[in-house]
Amino acid sequence: MPVNLSGRNFLKLLDFTTEEIEYLIKLSKEFKNLKLTNTPHKYLAGKNIVLLFEKTSTRTRCSFEVAGRDLGMGVTYLDPGSSQMGKKESIEDTARVLGRMYDGIEYRGFAQSIVEELAENAGVPVWNGLTTEFHPTQMLADMLTIEENFGRLKGLNFVFMGDAGNNVGNSLMVVCAKLGVNFTACGPAKQMPNPELVEECKKLAAEHGSTVTLTEDVEAATKGAHVIYTDIWVSMGEPDSVWEERIKLLSPYQVNAKVMANADPEAIFMHCLPSFHDLKTTIGKDIYDKFGLKEMEVSDEVFESKQSKVFDEAENRMHTIKAVMYATLK
């Protein structure tokens, strides 16, 4: 049967079937082609969306704004200081107000329960731009990028290095399980995904002919891997005080030339960004001054290598977010 996502929320990929996720990836390719050929596609002219940000962003904000305008929509951005949500106005009331004015609502912030409550009360599609638990729009961009490089997804070996228990690690495990990609989380036991989510994903993976593996062994995990992926060691919203502990825990899981050499000869490197691969950021300089580290989760050599697909991945955020908005609003 044809896939119809009109009116649906986009909160986490556990809510979607494999066929629905594949449809969104296919639709993203079509929108990417329209963008790259300068073909107008204002298919949602007359609609308006609001971007509700409690956590700042470069890629997520720009992707939603450009994608929305490409589709012909009006776009309103509310930064952390421009909304009364949770302060003077409840999440429920905020949802009911914005749902009367806008055709769709994006939320980027903290607990998954917040975006779920927005969706329950808005009466219009709500999209998760990132919560503490999940980052579903990033996943579509990641899978599109992988498919562009290998021509397929099913059967590939995917390794996430480092803090596998964060929102990106959780979401990657889910999407890999849904799409038949072998997923390995490689990091310290303390930073692994929630055991209940792991068990759910292992069942999903078995249904789609793939596996979910958790390990602390870098050499075993990365042997023959097609995709090596990492993220920063301290997530947004976490206190600076955790840096010292995370550096001790996660330094053995840095993605460097040795790791990439152990992977498949055609392996690619991916990162959701931003990345601390040099000293050109305030945080990077601060960490170097305190701990003597010039590079953190990935070496500059790997980040700048031909195997690195991080900027293709970043661009694909826009195309995939456009697909999500179009599919749910058309």
Active site residues: 108, 135, 138, 231, 272, 317
Among residues 117, 71, 123, 70, the alpha carbon closest in space to that of 99 is found at 123
For the CA atoms of 166, 196, 111, 107, what is the dihedral angle to 10 degrees? Answer: 80
Rounded CA separation 222/310 (Å): 19
Nearest to 179 by CA among 17, 3, 316, 15: 17
Torsion of CA 6, 12, 13, 14, to 10 degrees: -110
> 147, 199, 188: which is closest to 166 by C-alpha?
188
Q: What angle do CA 72, 78, 83 make, to 5 degrees?
A: 140
Joined tokens for residue 254: 């840095």
Give the helix/strand (H/E) hosting 321: helix 310-329
Q: Are 24 and 324 spatial neighbours (Cβ–Cβ below 8 Å)? A: yes
Tally of residues, the chain: 330
**187: nearest Cα among 133, 143, 250, 131:** 250
